[in-house]
């Protein structure tokens, strides 16, 4: 790693896509190949995030990535499990991820969560590459393990290749319907104007070197200016999840995207009411290569620098919310940092009206995405909040004047047991879904039905 690399932040790569299209498998492939190469120590498995150093990437990508061509430290991948809304991934008014991989099953093509991912990538202007996954399931496919895709593709029978081409052209057409000019990645000259589609298999590893090469190229060319940050400055991050951890109470899973967080630092965290001001008791990272979502043993570290995933243990975190900002105070006046966090939360705050529906969502990011979708559909919002559906929400929804507005739209949230009873009694309709546009559609249909 050159000296210059130390002043450059690791680019953050979000892995997005529809349920079961292979996001985790692709990451497993990237992690696993590194482990089988005896590089377990070089890979750091963070909270919801995997840091892969440049040397490992270049080893996996072979001739496609020459380490001497790059001065980035590596890539930090963030997996977005199916149940979890990736719209949580926001930072300072923009996207937390610098670049993204949109994973699409070549046989399935665009699906609801693919559409939703595209919406967010479009809105945030995040550069991305499309991983056209599961090419190994093409009838007659002859796999070439871990190979770059071009030689493997060229070596297939005409029948297999034309079957795959059919699916790939369909995918390219679907991208163009969404105003993205896309093509097979090896034909793309200018990745600024065109989306590269990489045929690949998370199972056989074909095309994975190419994905890494495109990601490195995208980061190097478009991200460098933003990567040159003060890696020693006060840490800034985004809460991915608020979780109870045995022995620590409520803890935060955070992606640090700027500066450094140290044990003992005073931090300000966005919460459901006033921002929380607290002191970091412990910084916890899972053991290298352990599966994050089942990991129980954590290693305590003194400090964590951008970009990285870390679990923060501190007092009073119960009211923290997913998607909220985390800021280290360090040498600044505490009030200034509190104001900064408040300003950022206000930016996400959803415009409400005197008459409308009640909206509940699992994270700030998804609440914002919901509000955008409702605004586009010209559905007014009376109240919008992060959290499960509580009796109070039913009461508020019941105060709407118009019958069609006596409704709660819940995205990725549960109904609290006592609210369930209230819902039965009050004349309030509940709509809940984990795909935003389906939720809006369901509600629209209901209103149409009422007007008939």
Q: Which of residues 71-100 bind Mg ion (CB under 5 A)?
A: 81
Choosing among Mg ion, ligand GTP, none, which partner's interface includes residue 22 (Cβ < 5 to 8 Å by kind)? ligand GTP
Q: Is 25 in the site for ligand GTP (CB under 6 A)?
A: yes
46 is in an annotated binding site: no
- Closest CB to ligand GTP among residues 24, 58: 24
415 is in an annotated binding site: no
Locate tokens 């696993």: which residue? 32
- Closest CB to Mg ion among residues 205, 234: 205
Choosing among ligand GTP, Mg ion, none, which partner's interface includes residue 203 (Cβ < 5 to 8 Å by kind)? ligand GTP
- Closest CB to ligand GTP among residues 20, 316: 20
82 is in an annotated binding site: yes
Q: How close are the terminal C-alpha atoms of the chain, in Å?
A: 67
Q: How many residues contact ligand GTP, by CB under 6 A? A: 17
| Region of 128-136, 234-242, 343-351, 410-418 interacting with ligand GTP (CB under 6 A) | 128-136
Asked whether the beta carbons of 78 and 49 are under 8 A apart, the reply is yes
Task: Give the Cα separation of 361 and 374 in Å (integer).
Answer: 13
Task: Give the Cα separation of 448 and 228 in Å (integer).
Answer: 52
Choosing among Mg ion, ligand GTP, none, which partner's interface includes residue 19 (Cβ < 5 to 8 Å by kind)? ligand GTP
Which of 11, 22, 275, 309 touches ligand GTP by CB under 6 A? Answer: 22
278 is in an annotated binding site: no
Among all residues, whose Cβ is closest to Mg ion? Answer: 24
Locate tokens 């916890």: which residue? 284
- Closest CB to Mg ion among residues 24, 44: 24
Per-residue binder mask for Mg ion (CB under 5 A), 24-63, x = binder: x---------------------------------------
Q: Which of residues 191-230 bind ligand GTP (CB under 6 A)?
A: 201-203
- Closest CB to Mg ion among residues 28, 170: 28
Q: Is 151 in the site for ligand GTP (CB under 6 A)?
A: no
Q: How is the beta sheet containing 357-361 ordered, strand by strand?
A: 381-386, 357-361, 407-411, 429-433
Give CA separation, 132 vs 58, 214, 413, in Å: 21, 14, 31
Which of 82, 93, 94, 315 touches ligand GTP by CB under 6 A? Answer: 82
- Closest CB to Mg ion among residues 23, 360: 23
Among all residues, whose Cβ is closest to ligand GTP? Answer: 82
Q: How many residues contact Mg ion, by CB under 5 A? A: 3
- Closest CB to Mg ion among residues 24, 366: 24
Q: How many CB atoms lie within 10 A of CB 154?
A: 8
> Which chain residues interact with Mg ion by CB under 5 A?
23-24, 81
Known binding-site residues for GTP equal 17-24, 79-83, 133-136
Known binding-site residues equal 17-24, 79-83, 133-136
> Which chain residues interact with ligand GTP by CB under 6 A?
17, 19-25, 81-82, 133-134, 136-137, 201-203
């Amino acid at each position: 790693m050159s000296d210059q690399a130390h002043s450059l932040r690791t680019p953050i790569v979000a892995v997005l896509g529809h349920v079961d299209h292979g996001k985790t498998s692709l990451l497993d492939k990237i992690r696993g190949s590194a482990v089988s190469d005896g590089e377990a120590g070089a890979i750091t498995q963070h909270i919801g995030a995997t840091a892969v150093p440049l040397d490992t990437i270049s080893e996996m990508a072979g001739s496609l990535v020459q380490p001497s061509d790059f001065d980035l430290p590596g890539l930090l991948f963030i997996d977005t499990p199916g149940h979890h809304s990736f719209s949580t991934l926001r930072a300072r008014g923009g996207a937390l991820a610098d670049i993204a991989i949109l994973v699409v099953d070549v046989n399935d093509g665009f699906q609801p969560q693919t559409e939703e991912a595209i919406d967010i990538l479009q809105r945030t202007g995040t550069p991305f590459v499309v991983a056209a996954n599961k090419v190994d399931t093409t009838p007659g496919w002859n796999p070439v393990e871990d190979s770059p895709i071009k030689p493997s593709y060229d070596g297939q029978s005409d029948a297999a290749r034309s079957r795959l081409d059919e699916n790939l052209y369909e995918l390219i057409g679907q991208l163009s319907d969404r105003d993205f000019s896309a093509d097979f990645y090896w034909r793309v000259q200018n990745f600024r104007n065109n989306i590269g589609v990489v045929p690949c298999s998370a199972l056989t590893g074909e095309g994975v070197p190419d994905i890494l090469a495109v990601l490195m190229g995208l980061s190097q060319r478009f991200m460098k200016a933003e990567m040159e940050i003060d890696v020693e400055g006060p840490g800034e991050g985004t809460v991915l999840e608020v979780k109870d951890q045995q022995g620590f109470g409520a803890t935060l899973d955070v992606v640090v995207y700027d500066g450094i967080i140290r044990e003992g630092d005073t931090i300000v965290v966005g919460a459901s009411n006033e921002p929380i001001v607290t002191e970091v008791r412990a910084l916890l990272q899972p053991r290298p290569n352990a599966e994050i979502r089942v990991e129980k043993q954590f290693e305590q570290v003194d400090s964590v620098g951008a970009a990285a995933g870390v679990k923060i243990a501190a007092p009073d975190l119960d009211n923290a919310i997913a998607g909220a900002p985390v800021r280290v105070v360090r040498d600044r006046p505490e009030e200034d940092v509190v104001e900064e966090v408040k300003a950022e939360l206000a930016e996400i705050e959803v415009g409400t009206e005197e008459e409308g529906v009640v909206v509940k969502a699992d994270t700030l990011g998804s609440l914002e995405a919901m509000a955008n979708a409702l605004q586009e559909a010209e559905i007014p919002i009376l109240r919008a909040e992060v959290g499960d559906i509580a009796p109070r929400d039913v009461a508020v929804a019941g105060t709407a004047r118009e019958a069609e507005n006596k409704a709660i739209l819940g995205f990725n949230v549960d109904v609290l047991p006592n609210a369930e009873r209230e819902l039965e009694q009050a004349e309030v309709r509940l709509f809940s879904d984990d795909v935003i546009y389906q939720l809006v559609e369901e509600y629209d249909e209901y209103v149409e039905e009422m007007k008939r």
